[in-house]
Amino acid sequence: MKNDKILLSHGSGGRLTHELVETLFKKYFSNPILNTLDDSAELRLGYPGGPRLAFTTDSFVVNPIFFPGGDIGRLSVCGTVNDLAMKGAVPRWIAIAAIIEEGFELATLKKVVLSISKAAREAGVAVVTGDTKVVEKGKADRLFLTTSGLGIIEEGVNVSGKNARAGDEIIINGTIGDHGISVIAARNDFKFSSGLKSDCAPLNNLVKKMLAASKSINVLRDPTRGGLATTLNEIASSSGIGIIIEEKLIPLKNEVRAACGLLGFDPLYVANEGKLVAFAPGASAGKILKTMKSDKLGRTSAIIGKAVSSPKGVWLKTLSGTLRPLMMLEGEQLPRIC
Amino acid sequence: MKNDKILLSHGSGGRLTHELVETLFKKYFSNPILNTLDDSAELRLGYPGGPRLAFTTDSFVVNPIFFPGGDIGRLSVCGTVNDLAMKGAVPRWIAIAAIIEEGFELATLKKVVLSISKAAREAGVAVVTGDTKVVEKGKADRLFLTTSGLGIIEEGVNVSGKNARAGDEIIINGTIGDHGISVIAARNDFKFSSGLKSDCAPLNNLVKKMLAASKSINVLRDPTRGGLATTLNEIASSSGIGIIIEEKLIPLKNEVRAACGLLGFDPLYVANEGKLVAFAPGASAGKILKTMKSDKLGRTSAIIGKAVSSPKGVWLKTLSGTLRPLMMLEGEQLPRIC
């Protein structure tokens, strides 16, 4: 690594995060389960035919802790539930660890707890264990939550970032960038995005319907930190395929397009918290898309592109018809977005 | 709650932590699994005879992050492995989420990662998933880790804080207070405790031997934050019994006794990270004690007291022979000890 200190970009979900994972975590913790680098680890209980579990953890340091469409509590449940759902698992149990800054208002903590409770009910998961640590004033920024989750992967489901195949259609369940722009607007008290809300939502019920429509889904992944472009790069790299998406097919709200224009952001790199991309063979993609559109979290679902055997890497067919390479997020666009 | 803000004492593991758990977390997340308030949640996979899992999470905010006998990495593995072992589970998989302050040295992060890796090997667990978040300089104190763990509870094992029975003997695997005094000495560069080390260690192999010696162990719990006195209060309250321990039987290093004298601490309230208390019927206690003494983490094991039907609460028979009530930790003795 060229840097000798941790930069904000190491937490962006982009290139430096991946470098850290490869050169440090994967190197020293290496094992076949970790090495898949999926959103959840897939565990098989140690006997033939034993159940498969999905296990995941995420810390949440979003600033501010309340934003249009959500808060750190709702986010911490949805983020973890979604990581389980992206393995095709049925989320069941979550654990929440809080690191709280001394002086944090108990009334605000109660609001967060109620929000966690509501989101957990919505997702159908139980909070089964937890932990609380308090650090001195100035040693943390109000409240950090770490949520871990456990789900059950049913037989016949085989979803992984390494399972994309050339020919797969790529489906997204709606507009991109809503979460990132909502948080940045709340942080800076921007007025331009009035009415825009984070898409923060548990996706497990949508995924359940999709898998009921077709078990042939190869990949599910939620484009959070680093946005759609970074997520597609992870999938292309894990699966050894190329990806071509079409700009004109990507659902995008006018407010997000306008805000990105003003701020100099590319919406393809802005975080989502209620979006997923699914890769599925052409034969089943239509049926899956129809199912998605019938769900309240998938009304504006669309097929946005295709997996190809070549060229490798991720490519955007722009509105003008040219092919532009889409790399992983470089640097840090929006720190502490989740 | 009388206070309207979070105090350091809310993270002490003592009375205010319990008040927060009861009035907020248990109240709004309530479910039969959470409500046992054991060190790990016990989950049963949803079919008759399905395996039982233990699931736990803990955040680690220890200051300083390196101390004699350990560091935040080793602590985060041992703390979580021990919480699983305290349900009688065989720890299998852990997940680690890091919140890192911008500017943290990569070389130090690597040291912590190597320490995690070593402790995980020692405990026989695999790091299967993780997460990294970075916050701006000044918004966290160097490095916080949250470690979640998953283990398998074998048939016939039934260990819980609510299973203590009057007549049970209470066994501890060695000297108390070593961890707390080591950390406080490192933090303040005290010289009085030279040679003293934290007892930070994974206890799962010791527990495995103990359960092999006798499945009749009713309670296992590690006296971390809040110390032995607080842990015994939790058990007495969960099981509805009384506890009498004898001061003269409690293993205590001279350095810890001396440091506690100087600092005005009661060693019964100082944190341990490689200690457990076991409750077992008199008939099997001798065999369990013998097994413990044969393990390197149990050389100075001792029976320190007994569960009784009355008086309720926790009592210390002092060196002078009087009975003194031992309450839960009030306030905060040593912030950020784990």
Distance from C-alpha of B335 to C-alpha of B8, rounded to nearest angstrom = 7
CB-based contacts of A290: which residues, under 8 Å, 6+ apart? A213
Q: What is the pLDDT of residue A48?
A: 63
Distance from CA of B61 to the nearest CA of A (A): 7
Mean pLDDT (whole number) for B284-292: 98
Find where tokens 């944090």 sit.
Answer: A104
Distance from C-alpha of A151 to C-alpha of A9, rounded to nearest angstrom = 30
In this structure, what DSSP letter does residue A301 have? Answer: -
Distance from C-alpha of A118 to C-alpha of A100, rounded to nearest angstrom = 21
Mean pLDDT (whole number) for A232-239: 97
- Which of 3.20.20.70, 3.30.1330.10, 3.90.25.10, 3.40.50.1110 would CATH assign to domain A8-153? 3.30.1330.10
Q: B227-241: per-residue pLDDT in tens?
A: 999 999 999 999 999
pLDDT band at A189 (very low <50, low <70, confident <90, very high): confident
The percentage of residues in chain A with a pLDDT greater than 70, rounded to a whole number, is 98
Instruction: Provide, as residue numbers in chain B, all residues whose Cβ is less than 8 Å from the Cβ of A102.
Output: 5-8
At A299 the three-state DSSP class reads coil
Q: A31-57: per-residue pLDDT in tens?
A: 999 999 888 999 988 666 678 999 999
pLDDT band at B155 (very low <50, low <70, confident <90, very high): confident
Find where tokens 């359940």 sit.
Answer: A208
Distances (CA, A) of A56 to A66, A151, B20, B174, B213: 24, 9, 26, 35, 35
pLDDT: is A1 or B317 the higher one?
B317
pLDDT band at A193 (very low <50, low <70, confident <90, very high): low
- As annotated, the residues of chain A forming the CATH 3.30.1330.10 domain(s) are 8-153
Q: A128-179: per-residue pLDDT in tens?
A: 999 999 999 999 999 999 999 999 999 889 999 999 999 999 999 999 999 9
Mean pLDDT (whole number) for A80-97: 97
Instruction: Provide, as residue numbers in chain A, all residues whose Cβ is less than 8 Å from the Cβ of B139.
Output: 140-141
pLDDT band at B152 (very low <50, low <70, confident <90, very high): very high
Which one of A4, A50, A97 has the shortest CB-CB distance to B106? A4
CB A146 within 8 A of CB A101: no
Nearest to A314 by CA among A164, A183, A106: A164
A296 interface with B at CB cutoff 8 Å: no
Distances (CA, A) of B247 to B97, B232, B266, B304, B323: 40, 14, 12, 8, 10
CB-based contacts of A264: which residues, under 8 Å, 6+ apart? none
Are B33 and A57 inside 8 Å of each other by CB?
Answer: no
Rg (CA), chain A: 19
Q: What is the pLDDT of residue B334?
A: 83
Is the alpha carbon torsion for A14, B133, B125, B163 positive or negative?
negative
Q: What is the pLDDT of residue B103?
A: 97
What strand order describes the sheet that includes A302-308? A219-221, A277-280, A169-172, A302-308, A242-246, A313-317, A323-325
CB A131 within 8 A of CB B25: no
B336 interface with A at CB cutoff 8 Å: yes
| CB burial of residue B212 (10 Å; 0-12, 13-18, 19+) | exposed
pLDDT: is A2 or A90 the higher one?
A90
Distance from CA of B314 to the nearest CA of A (A): 24
Q: What is the pLDDT of residue A46?
A: 67
Neighbours of B92 (CB within 10 A): 23
Q: What is the pLDDT of residue B2?
A: 60
Mean pLDDT (whole number) for A105-114: 98
Which one of B43, B59, B110 has the shortest CB-CB distance to A133? B59
Interface test with A, best of B133, B187, B336 (most A CBs within 10 A): B133
Distance of CA A90 to the CA centre of its chain: 16
> For the domain bounded by B169-325, which CATH number is listed?
3.90.650.10
Write phi, then psi, for B8 (nearest 5 degrees): -55, -35
Q: What is the distance between the terminal CA atoms of chain A, rounded to a whole angstrom?
A: 25
CB A134 within 8 A of CB B6: yes
What strand order describes the sheet that includes B89-101? B41-44, B52-60, B143-153, B89-101, B126-135
Q: Is the pLDDT of residue B49 over 70?
A: no
pLDDT band at A195 (very low <50, low <70, confident <90, very high): confident
- As annotated, the residues of chain B forming the CATH 3.90.650.10 domain(s) are 169-325
Instruction: Provide, as residue numbers in chain B, all residues whose Cβ is less than 8 Å from the Cβ of A43.
Output: 92-93, 128, 150
pTM for this entry: 0.96
Q: What is the pLDDT of residue B43?
A: 94
Q: A243-268: per-residue pLDDT in tens?
A: 999 999 999 999 999 999 999 999 99
Distance from C-alpha of B65 to C-alpha of B67, rounded to nearest angstrom = 7
Q: A293-317: per-residue pLDDT in tens?
A: 999 999 999 999 999 999 999 999 9
Mean pLDDT (whole number) for B89-94: 97
Q: Taking all residues of chain B, what is their mean pLDDT, rounded to a whole number?
A: 95
Distance from C-alpha of A138 to C-alpha of A324, rounded to nearest angstrom = 45
The torsion angle over the Cα atoms of residues A121, A130, B33 and A76, rounded to 10 degrees, is: 20
A269 interface with B at CB cutoff 8 Å: no
